[in-house]
Amino acid sequence: MKKSLLLITFSLFYVLTSYAQTWNQYPYAPAGTNLTFPADEGYHPGEPVEWWYTIGHVVGATSGKDYSYMLTYFYYPQFGFDGFRIFNLSDDVTETFFAETLPVNYGTMAQDHLEIVANVVTAGTEQWVTRTEGLDLVPFSYHVEAAQANGSINLDYEPVKRPLILDTTGFFYQGATGYTYYYSQTMLNVSGSMTIDGVTEDVSGTAWIDRQWGQFNPNNGEKYEWFCVQLDNGMDMNIWNIFDNNNQIPDLPTYQLTSIYVDETHDINTHDFEFDRQTFVYTPDSAKVYPQQWHFVYDSIDIMITTLYPNSEVSLPFRFYEGTTSVTGTVGNTPVAGVGFAELLHSYSKPIVNAVVPADGISWAPGLVDWELANPEGGRDIWYDVEYSIDNKQSWSSIATGITESEAAWDAAGVSYGTEVWLRITAYSIDHTLTGKYETTTPFKIGAVGIDDASTTLSTTTVYPNPSASGSFVISVNDVTLTPKAIQLLTLQGKQVLYKTLNAKATEGNKIELQLSGLAAGTYLARVEMSNGKTATVRLCIAE
């Protein structure tokens, strides 16, 4: 039986933070954090990049339609501008999506509270300011006005919960080298008006705010997947996965994080959770592939996050996905549902598979079929089907199905010695959306390992010393008209150990010197490839 969430928060795997002081009055400085409000709602001079981000889910008072929006102001001076603004509007019923990114100069950027007056190129003046009563700021209450080519918002925000301070203190290292200051306001009531695609109506709903400043910068190439989640049991979640330059998600705290608002006195901060992609989807132009559904598991929290449609893509400053999500699952034994947003900077590619053993055009003794995935990616698990054909690819028989390892044992039972065989390896994501195939172009033959067809094999090849205690060998090709081009070293099971291109001179007794002192003692096969396409295969023995 799973432990209760409240009990788990006291374990070593959870971080418990107390917010006993009153949060809905200024100044507010949560104990044990690096943040103070209202100052940290404002602009931080000297930091290389900063952004104010908000999303909302609202309902039209007249139409009853569900709408969503995202508005972000970046401070990131470039090309004579202070930064840029991204403003998206979405009709979640018709799946109509409008995105706009424009450069901006800031007429006002207060440092002691949140007050942004933005002069947006071609769009006019916009504002995101803290509301006031008389001369006093109203804690965590805001007025937001913005307009784009296909609509606008004029909204008031009222706080429901205290800020969620990420990773306990609000300061941590994120990605390869960047640091960030970070907090979220996970639930605000929204009221006001929205115009979208020529229709204006009053709206109401809920919003989320993310605030970051520091060195972590999406423009530096560190792709990520980010999510906010608002559950109907009162819990809210901020989830990050960051990809390194090799498209992997390293198992390091700086590359994945979730911070969870549990209640007014407790948060959970952890880097240890399961986050698996369940489905993928192509963008309408088929140029990008993003995940469509994720399975998040952390102790008693078990939820599915699903994007609503594939066309919520921003094109500037680069292509990325930004759209609303639905959430279902359980916390403990209690069903939960909710809404959220996903920001996806990493798109996925089809798997590329290359066979290692058996190679095209050789003779191969049954054993392990071996291949490699040329483009592994974090978050994209791959399964394989392996098949063979003995009738020139007219029909296929299975060797293995639905395996995750990059090798499969095959004894070739029922296939006669000397039979020509084609190999096909199909690689695919969990939902088969991402699929890649490898097929041999030239058949191999079932036979003795490495002994090629007589019409293409050289017989005038010698090797010495053999066996060799030191692992040093000289292979001599006794034909002055041929030049050795490459050598392939195989185990007796047909697994490639070495492949090396050569630059030998075409003189009598062409000699290839091999130094194999790093290999284990035993017998290997050296396959010499010649300039005219012929090959020679010899056995090499490394003595104990």
pLDDT tens readout for residues 35-80 = 999 999 999 999 999 999 999 999 999 999 999 999 999 999 999 9
Query: What is the model's pLDDT at position 413?
Result: 85
Q: Where are the alpha helices (DSSP H) in 29-132?
A: none
> Do residues 237 and 198 share a domain?
yes
From the list 539, 538, 533, 541, the residue with the least C-alpha distance to 360 is 533
> Do residues 265 and 389 share a domain?
no
Whole-number Cα distances in Å, 82 to 39, 77, 180: 20, 4, 20
Q: Are 458 and 535 in contact (CB under 8 A)?
A: yes
> Do residues 366 and 499 share a domain?
no
Token output for 455: 């019409």
Q: What is the CATH number of the domain that holds 322?
A: 2.40.370.10
**How far is residue 205 CA from its own chain's centroid?**
31
Q: How many CB atoms lie within 10 A of CB 201?
A: 17
- Phi and psi at residue 38, in whole multiples of 5°? -90, 0
String of DSSP letters for 163-196: -EETTTTSEEEETTTEEEEEEEEEEEEEEEEEEE
> Do residues 293 and 411 share a domain?
no
Q: What is the CATH number of the domain that holds 520?
A: 2.60.40.3080
From the list 472, 534, 529, 521, the residue with the least C-alpha distance to 503 is 529
Task: Determine how β-strand 444-446 pairs with β-strand 363-364.
Answer: parallel
Q: Are 113 and 137 in contact (CB under 8 A)?
A: yes
> Do residues 428 and 327 share a domain?
no
> Do residues 408 and 466 share a domain?
no
Query: What is the model's pLDDT at position 10?
Result: 34
Token output for 375: 């483009």
Query: What is the model's pLDDT at position 117?
Result: 98
> Do residues 268 and 194 share a domain?
yes
* Residue 73, Cβ density class (10 Å: 0-12 exposed, 13-18 middle, ≥19 buried): buried
> Do residues 382 and 499 share a domain?
no
Residues in the chain: 544
- Burial of 258-293, coded b for 16+ CB within 10 Å and e otherwise, reads bbbbbeeebbbbbbebebebeebbbbeeeebbbbbb
Q: Is the peptide bond before 366 cis (omega within 30 degrees of 0)?
A: no
> Do residues 322 and 430 share a domain?
no
Dist. CA 130–CA 516, nearest whole Å: 72
Chosen domain end from 412, 446, 480: 446
Query: What is the model's pLDDT at position 174?
Result: 95
> Number of C-alpha atoms within 13 angstroms, CB side, residue 385?
13
DSSP state of 235: -
Q: Are 434 and 405 in contact (CB under 8 A)?
A: no
Token output for 7: 């009990």
Query: What is the model's pLDDT at position 131?
Result: 98
Q: Where are the beta strands (DSSP E) in 313-434?
A: 313-314, 320-331, 334-344, 353-357, 363-364, 367-373, 383-389, 397-403, 407-410, 420-428
The secondary structure element, H or E, covering residue 114 is none
Query: What is the model's pLDDT at position 280?
Result: 98
DSSP state of 427: E
Q: Is the peptide bond before 467 cis (omega within 30 degrees of 0)?
A: yes
Dist. CA 396–CA 390, nearest whole Å: 8
From the list 378, 366, 356, 351, the residue with the least C-alpha distance to 251 is 378
- Residues of the chain with pLDDT below 70 are 1-21, 448-460, 480-481, 492-494, 503-509
Give the total number of structural domains in the chain. 3
Token output for 288: 């990008």
> Do residues 278 and 379 share a domain?
no
Q: Are 223 and 238 in contact (CB under 8 A)?
A: no
Residue type, 16: L
Q: Are 182 and 33 in contact (CB under 8 A)?
A: no
Residues whose CB is less than 8 angstroms from the CB of residue 12 and which lie 6 or more positions away in sequence, other chains included? none
From the list 485, 476, 469, 448, the residue with the least C-alpha distance to 519 is 469
From the list 60, 62, 61, the residue with the least C-alpha distance to 91 is 60
User: Model-level pTM?
Assistant: 0.81
> Do residues 208 and 336 share a domain?
yes
- As beta bridge partners, residue 146 has 153
> Do residues 357 and 338 share a domain?
no
Token output for 18: 């107390």
Q: Where are the beta strands (DSSP E) in 93-177?
A: 96-109, 115-120, 124-133, 136-148, 151-159, 164-165, 171-174
The secondary structure element, H or E, covering residue 5 is helix 5-8
- Which domain does 148 fall in, by range? 5-344
